[in-house]
Amino acid sequence: GQQVMQIPQYQHVQEGEDFTTYCNSSTTLSNIQWYKQRPGGHPVFLIQLVKSGEVKKQKRLTFQFGEAKKNSSLHITATQTTDVGTYFCAGLVPSGTYKYIFGTGTRLKVLA
Amino acid sequence: NAGVTQTPKFRVLKTGQSMTLLCAQDMNHEYMYWYRQDPGMGLRLIHYSVGEGTTAKGEVPDGYNVSRLKKQNFLLGLESAAPSQTSVYFCASSNPGELFFGEGSRLTVL
């Protein structure tokens, strides 16, 4: 069945260092979304990418959607302690049913 | 607006007991989802609904049933709970696009 994998599973960085998480789908996606979940909280929407090769930026966060629409990445420049949490990608299966399959997540810890 | 509300927030069950989790949204969203979250496995889709009166299976539907009798409510039922169903359950809604999540329901099956 449809699978969405993320790497790495965990990442510890010093405050100020950069961070990247990668998302790979076994099949082509209609679009991809990214979510952040703080410890003990619920996932919160960050962004949606739709077009092949699309790049979007939100302040220190840069999101990319691969040319084949099967992979995506989230890059955070100069991490801050407020960036702590788990980052998930969610791929929309192109079946017309609006079924979102989540990646396994990358848990980010930022050391001050 | 309350957004997406899940009840109960915590529940402890014994193996074999049944229960229902309720998800209510006040955003008039067509699409609703139930996910479970387990350590190291991300969020896995249990069932979803694309509108009132419709339901469909997700990635891990076995042992669960759902109903969407009213547009604003999506119920998740466990007929005979098993320890493997110990998890945090999240409900989400969308119209479509961005998923709005509830705060989660932590279920422990002993």
Higher pLDDT, A99 or A42: A42
**pLDDT score, position B39:** 83
Determine the Cα–Cα distance for residues B15 and B108; give it in Å rounded to an integer.
10
**pLDDT score, position B96:** 86
- The answer on pLDDT for B33 being more than 70 is yes
pLDDT tens track for B68-103: 999 999 999 999 999 999 999 999 999 988 999 999
- Cβ contacts from A onto B, under 8 A: 56
Residues A42 and B102 sit within 8 Å (Cβ to Cβ)? yes
Residue written as tokens 């699309």? A54
DSSP letter for each residue of B21-76: EEEEESS--SEEEEEEE-TTS-EEEEEEESSTT--EE-SS-TT-EEE-SSTTEEEE
Q: Do A99 and B45 touch (CB under 8 A)?
A: yes
Nearest residue on chain A to B96, judged by CA atoms?
A98
pLDDT tens track for A4-26: 999 999 999 999 999 999 999 99
> Taking all residues of chain B, what is their mean pLDDT, rounded to a whole number?
95
